[in-house]
């Protein structure tokens, strides 16, 4: 961060008050956390789907006596 950005942030805090700024920072953190968790959840769903496919094919092979 450069000095100009820091000054803008300080002026915003002085103008609005710390609780208002803290509120918006927390909202932004929650939003970014949910976005990251959604991507992680998608990876888990894909992994579970792939595992289900592999297990299904193994069950079929076992039932046919292929293993």
Task: Please state the pTM of the whole predicted model.
Answer: 0.52
Residue 44 near residue 53, CB atoms below 8 Å = no
* Angle (CA) 44 48 54, round 5°: 145
Q: Which domain holds residue 47?
A: 3-64
For the chain, the domain total comes to: 1
> Are 6 and 14 a contacting pair, CB within 8 Å?
no
**What pLDDT score was predicted for residue 67?**
62
How would you write the pLDDT of the chain (67 residues) with one tens digit per residue?
Answer: 788 988 888 888 888 888 888 898 899 999 999 999 999 999 999 999 999 999 999 999 999 886 6
Contacts for 61 with CB less than 8 Å, ≥ 6 apart: 67
Q: Report the pLDDT value the prediction gives residue 12, as an integer from 0 to 100.
A: 82
Give the per-residue pLDDT at 16: 81
Give me the pLDDT at residue 66, please.
Answer: 64
Angstrom distance (rounded) from CA 26 to CA 39: 20
């Amino acid at each position: 961060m450069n000095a100009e950005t820091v000054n803008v942030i300080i002026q915003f805090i002085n103008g609005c008050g710390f609780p208002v700024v803290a509120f918006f920072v927390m909202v932004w953190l929650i939003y970014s956390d949910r976005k990251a968790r959604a991507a992680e959840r998608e990876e888990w769903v894909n992994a579970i789907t792939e595992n289900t496919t592999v297990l299904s094919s193994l069950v079929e092979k076992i039932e046919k006596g292929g293993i």
